[in-house]
Each structure stands twice: as structure tokens, then as C-alpha cells.
Amino acid sequence: MEEPSIKYGLIFNNFSQKIKDMRVGSIKQTGIKKIAKPVLLLALIKGIEDGVFKHNWFEYEKLASIYEAVFKKYADISKQTEYTPLYYPFFHLHTSDFWNLCLKTPHSDRFPSTISVGWIRNNVEYAYIDPKLWDMLQHKVYRNRLAEFIVEEKIKTATARSHTFLRLFLNWLVAI
């Protein structure tokens, strides 16, 4: 039951808009949008659902196996022929204001130009999300609603938005 002092509907609207606006990369050969960041969020939701994550901190290794299974689940739907390793979205999602990295050396805020699993393991203690998002995800209804939103908005549309004739034509022109 929704607590009157916490407006989960407003929190849902806020974070679903942030997720909708979240930038994702494209596969160079096809222009298909990568699903790595949305899959990472779905893996996080699954980890909460399964009781793996009981607190608002997500260690890379605990998230890795969940992410891989979720990626495989949605790869066919989104026409992803290449697997994107977790370290890419785990790191790059920090550009969204709801995903944060807790560095092992807090005063070191310099990020590398090229990310690797080694850099993550050596420099990141864990990731955490905005406390309001964490609170909302503790409620099954909103957790499921957000997962459905991510699948509809970011997974199922990964190919629909990227296969425009104009984009393919422009890529062809650039190649010439």
C-alpha cells in the first residue's frame, strides 16, 4: 500500500522520464540501439526482486551473473547480435543522475578514457542509485511497472528507432 507521505506515482514518473531520456549507444554496422544500460536496470530490478540486493549498493560481481542472464533474455527481442559486457553500462550509467559509483579512493574522481573490467574491480567499491528510486523499487507494483516501462520503451524499440532509411543513407554517404 502506498504511504501518503511518499508520492510513488510522482517518483515513478520522474525516473521513467529519466530512463526514457537516457542516452544509449548504437551498434555501428546496423544502427540498432544497444540495450546494455536498460538491461543493467532490469538486472538490478531482478536482483531486488530475488532478494540479492537488500541494500542500496550493488557490487559488480553480484550484478554480473544477473546481467548476463537478463541480456540473453532480451537480446533476440532487440536484435542484439553482440554481447555488451557489464563493465560498459556499469560505468557509463554514471552519466545519469540516478546511478552513482562509490570509488575505493573517494578523492580520485578521474575516470579513464577507456573502461575495462580491471578498472572497475580496482577502483569501484559498488554502485548505488538515487534513494527515492531505491525506495520506490522496494514496492513490487512500482518495480514491475518500471521493468515493463524499460522493456517497452528501451528494449522493444531498440530496432524501431534506428532503422530509418535516412540514417542508413547518411551512413552510406559517410562511408563513400
Distances (CA, A) of 158 to 13, 14, 39, 81, 105: 21, 22, 12, 12, 36
Q: What is the pLDDT along the chain (176 residues), one digit of tens a residue?
A: 444 557 889 999 999 999 999 998 887 777 788 999 999 999 999 999 999 999 999 999 999 999 999 999 999 888 788 899 999 999 999 999 999 999 988 666 678 888 999 999 999 999 999 999 999 999 999 999 999 999 999 998 877 544 454 555 566 667 66
- In this prediction, residue 2 carries a pLDDT of 47
Signed CA dihedral, 14, 94, 69, 137: sign only: negative
Given a contact cutoff of 8 angstroms between Cβ atoms, the answer to whether 11 and 141 are in contact is no
- In this prediction, residue 164 carries a pLDDT of 53
